[in-house]
Structure 1
Amino acid sequence: MDYQQINADTIDSWCGQGWKWGIPVSHEEFEQARQGKWEVYLTPTKTVPHGWLEPLAGKRILGLASGGGQQIPIFSALGAHCTVLDYSPVQCESERMVADREGYEVEVIRGDMTKPLPFEDETFDLIFHPVSNCYVRQVRPVFRECARVLKTGGVMLSGLDLGLNYIFDETETFVQRSLPFDPVADPELMKMCLEEDWGVQFSHTLEEQLGGQLAAGLILTHLYEDTNGEGNLHDHHVPTFAATRAVKVPPQLRRALTLPGEMGMMDHK
């Protein structure tokens, strides 16, 4: 079975067990957002600064792997026109359920972000992409597609897994594995992932994740770190996630910021 189908089935199962990131917003939370009181997350514990997003009224937003009825309803309450792409049928259905309950329109697409995105060039003002790259083996193509469908001057907000969780044992006390963590290349890791009900996860370097955004034509403007929210690494204040804000720059500015001889190479990395 394709590892993305395994992950979709796993996420569906987690949602059925009450997974935190599969619980839709309540009617009360939606109404509070309409009154300007809201919060959304790219990483486990820190809320995204409002200044990273606002103003949202009238903006076209893509929630990439952002299903579940958590962020998109908030953006809709703030006047944005939203599309969500997610490979979990349960997460997609949660989006439809909240939209029907609250009476707004949302485009819900069940899709795989490892494939070309089903949108025209320069479609969206904002892409909201919570931590999900850890379920994708190659992240650079994802960033290239995001840059393609993002308008010039548009913003991409990403939650990034820094990979540290994969090296430790279950108590987060002992270093047990080396990086990269790649179950597709290691049958023993694949067996463990499936037995532990992790889905198929992958570690990624900052070179892949930050460098991948830069190579795609996005310029980083802001960044913050976050922890797991619980466990030994959290108790020792070890950052295991990061959130980034990046802007798609015009081609002429991209050329001005690129090292000599590098421009022709960047789109192929």
Structure 2
Amino acid sequence: MENYTEFNAKTIDGWNEEGWEWGTVITHDTYVKAKKGDWSIVLTPQTPVPKDFFAPFLDDSGHFYPGTKILGLASAGGQQMPVLTAAGADCTVLDLSDSQLEREKRVAQRENYEISVIKADMTQPLPFEAESFDVIVYPVSNCYIENVQPVWQEAYRVLKKGGILLSGLDNGFNYLFNSYKEKMTVENILPYNPLKNPAQMALAIKENDGVQFSHTFGEQIGGQLQAGFVLTAAFEDFFDADSKKFHGFPEFWATKAVK
């Protein structure tokens, strides 16, 4: 596959036509509550990000200090950025999916605010000057790219000194299995990489999963450290209640890293 990232973007566009959860825009009421400081976002499927993860850019009322610049990295879909904009941040969102970006524009038009919406591939150098942002919000999405280190390097470059990177990470456990049932059987050996495994690619296309990749602790956590970040907070999360019940092993991490 010559350009798997474009393939993934089109796959996500198809998911959105079917009502994908992560492409469902926030309601007007959610936006209004966020303007009052009553809000939350997720980096991983279930657990809201603690407000103190946004320190030192968030005041006690739940509003960002004037001039706080946030980049939603591969996080379009009309969910996180509208909330953070309502809470007072100056937001930019970057994504490769046309339908995800359209949702950002839709909410901005509905609520009458401005946001910079940029279509770009996160595997390439980010189209921003060095030290452009105070916060990067990077929900679970690097499972759609083969090599994560360039993203950590670019995130470090475009953050201001003292800026924070908030990341949602798939820890790879998901990719051991092809189905989640009460009795689960390991069917894949990690790393999971359909570009190097024809059987995995065939199944991914059959199941309309896009081209996804598992990543190691060293790539995800070690990669942030290698880029120069200092990790200051983290938590684990489950995909849903059933995954917690049937296997009891969290499939996701969320991290706060400081430049």
Q: TM-score range by the shorter chain?
A: over 0.9
Q: Distance in 2 between matches of 1:200 and 1:234?
A: 28
Deviations 1:78-97 (A, max 9, x none): 11110000010000010011
Q: Which amino acid aligns with 2:73?
A: L
Counterpart in 2 of 1:219? 230
Deviations 1:125-156 (A, max 9, x none): 00000000100000011000000000010000
2:219 paired with 1:208: yes
Q: Which amino acid aligns with 2:88?
A: G
Counterpart in 2 of 1:178? 189
Q: Which amino acid aligns with 1:83?
A: T
SS of residue matched to 2:102 = helix
* Structure-1-length-normalised TM-score: 0.90
Match of 2:200 among 165, 170, 189: 189
* Structure-2-length-normalised TM-score: 0.93
Q: Distance in 2 between matches of 1:89 and 1:169?
A: 28
Q: Which amino acid aligns with 2:124?
A: K
Q: Which amino acid aligns with 1:60?
A: K
2:69 paired with 1:60: yes
Match of 2:81 among 72, 77, 94: 72
SS of residue matched to 1:97 = helix
Match of 2:178 among 169, 191, 211: 169
Deviations 1:69-115 (A, max 9, x none): 10000110011110000010000010011011111110000110000
Q: Distance in 2 between matches of 1:122 and 1:171?
A: 42
Stretch moving more, 163-172 or 34-43: 163-172
Aligned counterparts, 1:143-162, within 5 A: 143-162=152-171
Counterpart in 1 of 2:147? 138
Counterpart in 2 of 1:26? 27
Q: Distance in 1 between matches of 2:93 and 2:100?
A: 10
Tell me by how many angstroms 1:191 deviates. 1.2
Q: Distance in 2 between matches of 1:245 and 1:52?
A: 6
Tell me by how many angstroms 1:171 deviates. 3.0
SS of residue matched to 1:184 = helix
Q: Distance in 2 between matches of 1:104 and 1:28?
A: 15
SS of residue matched to 2:215 = coil
Computed over aligned residues only, the root mean square deviation of the Cα atoms, in angstroms, reads: 1.1
Kept in 2, the 8 Å contact 1:227–1:234? The answer is: no
Q: Which amino acid aligns with 1:20?
A: E
Tell me by how many angstroms 1:36 deviates. 1.2
Tell me by how many angstroms 1:234 deviates. 4.7
* CA gap 1:154/1:233 in 2 versus in 1, 3 angstroms: same
Q: Distance in 2 between matches of 1:44 and 1:237?
A: 15
Identity of aligned residues (%): 50
Aligned counterparts, 1:119-138, within 5 A: 119-138=128-147
Tell me by how many angstroms 1:231 deviates. 3.4
Tell me by how many angstroms 1:51 deviates. 1.0
Q: Distance in 2 between matches of 1:69 and 1:26?
A: 10
Q: Distance in 2 between matches of 1:65 and 1:218?
A: 19
Q: Distance in 2 between matches of 1:193 and 1:230?
A: 24
Counterpart in 2 of 1:256? none
Structure 1: give runs of 5+ residues left out of the alignment: 249-269
